[in-house]
């Protein structure tokens, strides 16, 4: 926090306030997970919007599971949540909800696929794997047009 300007810190605090957190909760969260201050306001907004809107979880879940703000939305969070929904919609034996879903988000890729895709019959597993790969390939609008040119030092 010492290297950020006061305006940036206030903006980041206000961003969490928009999602219904009190000042005490925000400061407790930053004390528990100080690297949240390094996240951009846009990343926090995108992840929180997905957590609240698509996953239908409460905002207070971040107090218990702050890693939800760290994970990449496009390559980890969305594909795994959508795959869990597809498994549920297909009526397969494995019913993933609540804490189990949050635990699945922390798994390595190999373990996640083993536990949630490869445990099914070959044809079902192939269909789930194809769906999972397609959802991982979907990028945000204008993501492909970003120009990231790194040449030496930034200063």
Using the predicted structure, report yes or no on whether residue 145 has a pLDDT greater than 70: no
Using the predicted structure, report yes or no on whether residue 149 has a pLDDT greater than 80: no
Cα angle vertex 92, ends 91, 96, to 5°?
Answer: 95
pLDDT of residue 84: 85
What's the whole-number mean pLDDT along residues 85-99? 72
How confident is the model over 46-69, as pLDDT tens digits? 999 999 999 999 999 999 999 999
Using the predicted structure, report yes or no on whether residue 137 has a pLDDT greater than 90: no
CA separation (Å) from 35 to 32, 39, 94?
A: 9, 7, 35
What's the whole-number mean pLDDT along residues 125-151? 75
Average pLDDT, the chain: 84
């Amino acid at each position: 926090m010492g290297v950020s300007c006061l305006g940036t810190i206030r903006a980041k605090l206000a961003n969490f306030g928009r999602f219904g957190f009190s000042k005490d909760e925000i400061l407790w969260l930053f004390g528990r997970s100080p690297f949240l201050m390094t996240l951009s306001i846009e990343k926090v907004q995108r992840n929180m919007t997905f957590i609240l809107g698509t996953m239908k979880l409460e905002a207070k879940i971040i107090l218990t599971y702050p890693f939800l703000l760290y994970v990449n939305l496009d390559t980890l969070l969305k594909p795994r949540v959508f795959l869990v929904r597809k498994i549920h919609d297909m009526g397969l034996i494995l019913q993933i909800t609540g804490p189990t879903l949050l635990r699945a988000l922390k798994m390595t890729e190999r373990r996640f696929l083993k536990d949630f895709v490869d445990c099914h019959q070959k044809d079902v597993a192939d269909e789930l794997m194809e769906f999972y790969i397609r959802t991982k390939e979907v990028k945000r609008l204008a993501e492909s047009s970003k120009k990231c040119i790194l040449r030496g030092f930034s200063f």
